[in-house]
Chains A and B, each alone.
Chain A
Amino acid sequence: MASDSGLAVNFNSVTRVFGSVRALDGFDLHIAPGELVALLGPSGCGKTTALRILAGLDQATSGRVDVGGRDLTRVPANKRDMGMVFQAYSLFPHLTVLENVAFGLKLRGQDRASRHRRASEVLELVGLSEQGSRYAHQLSGGQQQRVALARALAIEPSVLLLDEPLSALDAKVRSQLRDEIRRVQLEVGTTTLFVTHDQEEALAIADRVGVMNEGHLDQLAAPADLYAQPATRFVAEFVGLNNRVPAVVVSGRAEVLGTEVPTIEGSLAQGPGQALVRPESVTVGRDGGANASVVSVSFLGPISRVYCVIDGGQQVMAQVASSFAVTLQPGDRVTVGVEPTPLLVIAG
């Protein structure tokens, strides 16, 4: 996803300390030009601190931040040339939509005609060209965030920063706007850092997703790789749902529910442990050799979740087609296994 129009961003061993709390602890991240990287993690993991330090709204205690090869660590926020969309609605209430979008251009000394032309262009880009004369309070939450995106893009920023811009919106608008942000980002090619605690959002929108834990990156990978091959127990548990199933590792291969599967890097080298198995990797069948009982079935539309208890007392959740799930009743005896895909096996 690298592009010529964006600039590379580098965090080099950035640390930020608040009193006794290390919000960022030797944080390293490289974002390629034009790339969209999502930082994902629970509250307090340091993702917003990293974004604010890149924006210049917070200062690193130590370390260095480069954009396009230029050290911006001590450059004030208003000299960084970055566009930012905030979690809270941030449109200036006393200005119209057009004036909001043109605000950054006015500060750059552009004349009225050219800034209004540019503001109209970006409003067109986010599908709000008809709303230029309205005020923030006359727009819906989704529209306000689209205007905020247009305002951030109007100044043609070197980096676009999105600080949980969808979290205040309802589910439907959130998914629409998420797709729109991605479309616009691909169209303008601006290097983008997107911060979120919503894994679905991060996996759907980003070229690469960085999972943060206690001030540092646990893993940075393409969404599919992150999902299929979590590097740490934290990543495996934070991204997607997981079952813990007893496993025994022998020479890099694990035996899980009677199936031998390869282990992924970071797994237990030898001996008994717990395999972290995604619900969609759990198989449920009725062919002989039943080893589990159905506890309950949750219908979710095209798919359903089947909760089973394996003989021995371990509970697992499987994700199966609803057409099969409707044939299952609580108490039915079934055969539970796993797909032969690589798994992370941890001690315990």
Chain B
Amino acid sequence: MSGSLAWRVFRWTVLLLLAAYFLIPLWSMLDFSTQAPGTQPGRTLEAWRALVEDPALREAIIASLLLALFTVVLMVLLLVPTMVWVRLRVPGASRLVEFLCLLPLTIPALVIVVGIKNVMLWVTYFVGDTPLALTFAYVILVLPYSYRAIDAALSAIDVATLSEAARSLGAGWTTVMVRIVLPNIVPGVLSAAFVSVALVLGEYTFASLLHYDTLPTEIALLGKSQATVSVAASLASLILASALLLGLGLFSRERRTSEGQ
């Protein structure tokens, strides 16, 4: 009994320490971002209002959100069919694909930027000089994390048998992907998507060195002139990323519960 009580106390202590570790900085950011300018007393939401009213910041936020969306879409379109195809048709190439997908993890972002700078010139030539051109670079950046998440989900189902069963019932490859494979790897794709969103919303090196205005570069810039707005924007992006990850957790639990029933 005393053992279980000690264990419970230990668990709560760890939980409280972790909560403090995460929440105190967030609380401090909120506190700082709502302080009145100078030595004036009281609270103000000026910094938070600036998030939507400052045109440069607003544009940077929209650009980052669009970048996150396009990166996720392109990553799913590129990775899911490739990984399914490799599993079904060329399983011998799975190690090579895994190696290629994990490669960006081992190369510093700075080196990648230098390497793809010339390629980006072509990209901007075709899609225009917009921050959204970063989508192509960000897809490379999120590959390692997305690959792991989707690979785990694909390993949990018998892709070969399910797709052959669907094919024998009359399904073409698009139908197999959209109606059979994708619904069964939703948790993996969502994990990949949310990790990608979190990465894109926090990515600074690529955007800064390739001279695009995104949320992180704008936050860094504001940090030099309007510290409270910069902190408000940082807190907002942290809250957004946390909400997405929390949503994923709740969705996965909901799915498990409904399937369990």
Question: Interface on A for B, CB 8 Å cutoff?
Answer: 55-57, 76-84, 86, 88-90, 92-94, 103-104, 107-108, 135, 137, 148, 151-152, 155, 161
Contact = CB atoms under 8 A, between A and B. Distances in A.
B180 interface: yes
6 contacts: A77-B164, A77-B167, A90-B164, A92-B184, A93-B184, A94-B184
A92 B166 contact: yes
B252 to A, nearest CB: 14
A57 B167 CA distance: 8
Contacts, number: 66
Contacts of B171: 78, 107
Contacts of A92: 162, 165-166, 180, 184
A103 B168 CA distance: 11
Most chain A CB within 10 A, of B158, B164, B172, B180, is at: B164
B183 interface: yes
A152 B164 CA distance: 12
A89 B160 CA distance: 11
B170 A86 contact: no
Nearest to A161: B168
B165 A137 contact: no
A88 B172 CA distance: 21
A34 B162 CA distance: 27
Contacts of B158: 88-90
Interface in B175-200: 175, 180, 183-184
A135 B175 contact: no
B169 interface: yes
Contact of A84 (B162, B168, B172, B175): B168
Contacts of A88: 158, 161
A93 B161 CA distance: 12
Interface of chain B, main secondary structure: helix
A86 B169 contact: no
Nearest to B182: A94
B170 A57 contact: no
A155 B162 CA distance: 17
Contact of A93 (B157, B164, B166, B168): B157
Given A80-B168, A107-B169, 18 more contacts: A55-B164, A57-B164, A78-B172, A79-B170, A83-B169, A84-B164, A84-B165, A86-B161, A88-B161, A90-B164, A92-B166, A92-B184, A104-B169, A107-B170, A107-B175, A108-B170, A155-B170, A161-B168
Nearest to A94: B183
B31 to A, nearest CB: 46
Nearest to B175: A107
B152 to A, nearest CB: 16
A89 B175 CA distance: 20
B131 to A, nearest CB: 37
A44 B121 CA distance: 55
Interface residues of B, number: 18
B172 A86 contact: no
Contact of A86 (B164, B175, B259): B164
Q: Identify the interface centre among A78, A155, A161: most chain B CB within 10 Å of its CB.
A: A78
Nearest to A157: B168
Contacts of A155: 169-170
A79 B164 CA distance: 13
A177 B183 CA distance: 30
Residue of A57, A81, A92, A135 most packed against chain B (CB within 10 A): A92
Contacts of A79: 170
A283 B161 CA distance: 49
Contacts of B170: 78-79, 81, 104, 107-108, 155
Enumerate the 6 nearest inter-chain pairs by beta-carbon distance, A residue then B residue, closest first.
Answer: A104-B169, A90-B165, A84-B168, A77-B167, A107-B170, A94-B183
A57 B175 CA distance: 16
Nearest to A79: B170
A81 B157 CA distance: 25
Interface string B51-62: 000000000000
A333 to B, nearest CB: 57
A57 B168 contact: yes
Interface in B127-174: 157-158, 161-162, 164-172
B166 to A, nearest CB: 7
A101 to B, nearest CB: 10
A104 B226 CA distance: 61
B160 to A, nearest CB: 9
A262 B30 CA distance: 100
B257 to A, nearest CB: 13
Contacts of A82: 168
A243 B194 CA distance: 67
Contacts of B166: 92, 103
Contacts of A152: 168-169
B167 A78 contact: yes
Contacts of A90: 158, 161-162, 164-165
A90 B172 CA distance: 17
Nearest to B180: A92
Contacts of B168: 55-57, 77-78, 80, 82-84, 152, 161
A103 B175 CA distance: 11
A84 to B, nearest CB: 4
